Chain A
Amino acid sequence: SQELEQSPQSLIVQEGKNLTINCTSSKTLYGLYWYKQKYGEGLIFLMMLQKGGEEKSHEKITAKLDEKKQQSSLHITASQPSHAGIYLCGAVGDNDMRFGAGTRLTVKP
Chain B
Amino acid sequence: DAGVIQSPRHEVTEMGQEVTLRCKPISGHNSLFWYRQTMMRGLELLIYFNNNVPIDDSGMPEDRFSAKMPNASFSTLKIQPSEPRDSAVYFCASRTGGAEQFFGPGTRLTVL
Contacts and interface: CB of A to CB of B under 8 A. Distances in A.
A43 interface: yes
A2 B56 CA distance: 14
Interface stretch (A20-28, A57-65, A75-83, A92-100): A92-100
A42 interface: yes
Contacts of B45: 96-99
Interface in B13-72: 31, 33, 35, 42-43, 45, 48, 50, 55-56
Interface residues of B, number: 22
Contacts of B55: 95-96
B98 A43 contact: no
Contacts of A107: none
Contacts of A109: none
Identify whether the interface residues of B are mostly helix, strand, loop, or mixed.
strand
A31 to B, nearest CB: 6
Contacts of A40: 89, 108
Interface residues of A, number: 22
Contacts, number: 48
B75 to A, nearest CB: 15
A40 B98 CA distance: 27
Contacts of A99: 35, 42-43, 45
A42 B106 contact: yes
Contacts of A41: 105-106
Contacts of A42: 91, 103-106
B74 interface: no
Query: Interface centre among B33, B43, B56, B103, by most A CB within 10 Å?
Result: B43
A95 B48 contact: yes
Contact of B100 (A45, A95, A98, A101): A45
Contacts of B91: 42-43
Those 5 A-B pairs whose CB atoms lie nearest each other, nearest first: A101-B42, A43-B103, A99-B43, A42-B103, A42-B105
